[in-house]
């Protein structure tokens, strides 16, 4: 069993970026390293932080309460496969006086049953696009954390988001691409040595070179298993028929390839391309993405403004939710669950909770 001191020395990394930029691909590549553990997506750190971060004295009752709150996070409860009693026992096996919120978080991550063979764990990580707007909160919990900023062409990202999620507005998705990257860049400017910037196109075009560079940044050894992760995922998928692989992460059972580059060609109309270029072209040039049109109009301005307001509203709603007490979150969760049960009603903020109905309605 690792000591508290050994756990505290383990490096933490967060994969951040706009959703549908290859964050799950990169998470799986890193989790395939025997010295790293990067579980499936969860929001457990920001989910628990408001209530438990400042706790100085832990006891049996408080740990029991934390575990109950932890399993309210639907993504954790659905995907991580950790037995709550075993996790509770593991946390309680340590000296309460030495426990901290950050150490307990690491213990939860270390309990994740990764499908890949593990040795000495030198790196714990998490990928979650929404963490892009919570970087200061993450740094409060893990001051020495590192971040991987993953970027994808705004046109391919828009197509992928529109195909995968309920939001279809080109203007809103395009402004979201800018907003997420702006949040990350703001924090990157403050701590440049803590960030590794990686373009999705470079990752899939030169996977070995980029993963080696990434391993050097993270101080872990590169091994070829990281690039052959799909073989293990395919076997598990065939055995368990993972719904997430079927629906939104189907490429995880395939070797790394460039098939998703320039997928926007033929999937966006000329009007959609012109609007997206109008919204994103100036900021996209920062990452050397070149627009193909240069049209401007009052209508584009109005649509862009509405899209920008939508994303500002989204960030306010999401941040307010995770800064709120659990009693408020429990109430909104109860209402959302029953609205879905009774009327099949879901919306942008809870759609992912009901993507796999059977698990979400328990």
Give 21-77 as a DSSP string.
SSHHHHHHHHHTSTTEE-PSP--HHHHHHHHHTT-----HHHHHHHHHHHTTSHHHH
> What is the token pair recorded at 334?
């109860």
The 10 Å Cβ neighbour count of residue 137 is 17
Tokens 């990394």, residue located: 13
> What is the token pair recorded at 352?
């992912």
For the chain, the C-alpha Rg in angstroms (whole number) is: 21
State the chain's maximal CA–CA distance in angstroms: 64
At residue 289, what are phi and psi to the nearest 5 degrees?
-95, 125
Can you tell me the distance from the alpha carbon of 222 to that of 231, in angstroms, rounded to the nearest whole number?
A: 18
pLDDT tier, 246 (very low <50, low <70, confident <90, very high otherwise): very low
Helix (H) / strand (E) element for 321: namely: helix 298-323
76-116 pLDDT, tens digit per residue, is 998 899 999 999 999 999 999 999 999 999 999 999 999 99
pLDDT tier, 354 (very low <50, low <70, confident <90, very high otherwise): low
Instruction: Choose the weakest-confidence range: 60-64, 140-144, 241-245.
Output: 241-245
* Closest C-alpha to 348, from 309, 318, 325: 318
**Per-residue DSSP letter, 298:** H
3-28 pLDDT, tens digit per residue, is 999 999 999 999 999 999 999 999 99
Which CATH architecture best describes the domain 4-258?
3-Layer(aba) Sandwich (3.40)
Mean pLDDT of 52-72: 97
Residue ranges of domains in the chain:
4-258, 324-362
Q: Which residue has the higher pLDDT, 40 or 215?
A: 215
> What is the token pair recorded at 181?
């990257």
Strand residues in the chain grouped as ranges (E):
11-16, 36-37, 123-127, 146-151, 195-199
Mean pLDDT of 171-183: 96
* Closest C-alpha to 68, from 357, 60, 265, 264: 60
> What is the token pair recorded at 120?
């000495």
Q: Is 327 exposed, middle or buried (0-12, 13-18, 19+ CB in 10 A)?
A: exposed
Can you tell me the distance from the alpha carbon of 50 to that of 325, in angstroms, rounded to the nearest whole number?
A: 7
Q: For the whole model, what pTM was predicted?
A: 0.92
Q: Is 56 exposed, middle or buried (0-12, 13-18, 19+ CB in 10 A)?
A: exposed
178-226 pLDDT, tens digit per residue, is 999 999 999 999 999 999 999 999 999 999 999 999 999 999 999 989 9
116, 30 Cβ separation under 8 angstroms:
no
52, 148 Cβ separation under 8 angstroms:
no
* Paired strand residues for 151: 199
19, 13 Cβ separation under 8 angstroms:
no
Position 361 pLDDT exceeds 50: no
**Per-residue DSSP letter, 170:** H
Residues 6+ away with beta carbon under 8 Å from 236: 115, 242
CA 351 to chain centre: 16
Q: Is 261 exposed, middle or buried (0-12, 13-18, 19+ CB in 10 A)?
A: middle
Can you tell me the distance from the alpha carbon of 50 to that of 322, in angstroms, rounded to the nearest whole number?
A: 7
The 10 Å Cβ neighbour count of residue 247 is 11
């Amino acid at each position: 069993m690792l000591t508290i001191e050994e756990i505290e020395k383990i490096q933490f990394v967060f994969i951040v970026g706009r959703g549908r930029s290859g964050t799950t691909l990169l998470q799986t590549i890193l989790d395939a390293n025997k010295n790293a553990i990067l579980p499936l997506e969860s929001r457990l750190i920001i989910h628990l932080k408001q209530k438990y971060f400042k706790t100085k004295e832990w006891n049996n009752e408080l740990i029991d309460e934390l575990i109950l709150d932890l399993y309210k996070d639907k993504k954790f409860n659905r995907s991580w496969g950790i037995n709550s009693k075993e996790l509770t026992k593991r946390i309680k096996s340590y000296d309460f006086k030495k426990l901290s919120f950050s150490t307990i978080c690491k213990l939860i991550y270390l309990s994740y049953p990764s499908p890949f063979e593990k040795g000495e764990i030198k790196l714990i990580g998490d990928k979650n696009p929404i963490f892009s707007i919570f970087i200061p909160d993450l740094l409060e919990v893990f001051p020495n954390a590192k971040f991987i900023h993953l970027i994808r062409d705004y046109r391919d990202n828009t197509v992928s988001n529109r195909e995968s999620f309920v939001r279809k507005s080109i203007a809103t998705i395009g402004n979201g691409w800018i907003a997420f990257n702006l949040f990350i860049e703001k924090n990157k400017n403050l701590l440049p040595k803590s960030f590794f910037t990686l373009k999705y196109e470079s990752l899939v075009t030169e996977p070995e070179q980029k993963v080696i560079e990434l391993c050097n940044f993270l101080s872990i050894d590169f091994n070829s298993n990281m690039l052959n992760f799909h073989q293990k995922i395919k076997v598990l998928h065939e055995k368990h028929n993972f719904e997430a692989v079927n629906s939104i992460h189907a490429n995880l059972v395939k070797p790394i390839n460039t098939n998703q580059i320039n997928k926007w060609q033929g999937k966006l109309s000329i009007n959609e391309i012109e609007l997206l270029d109008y919204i994103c072209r100036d900021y996209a040039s920062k990452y050397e993405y070149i627009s193909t049109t240069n049209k401007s109009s009052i209508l584009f301005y109005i649509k862009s403004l509405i899209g920008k307001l939508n994303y500002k509203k989204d960030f306010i709603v999401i941040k307010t939710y995770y800064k709120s007490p659990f009693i408020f979150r429990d109430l909104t969760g109860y209402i959302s669950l029953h609205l879905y049960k009774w009327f099949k009603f879901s919306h942008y903020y809870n759609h992912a909770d009901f993507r796999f109905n059977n698990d979400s309605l328990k």
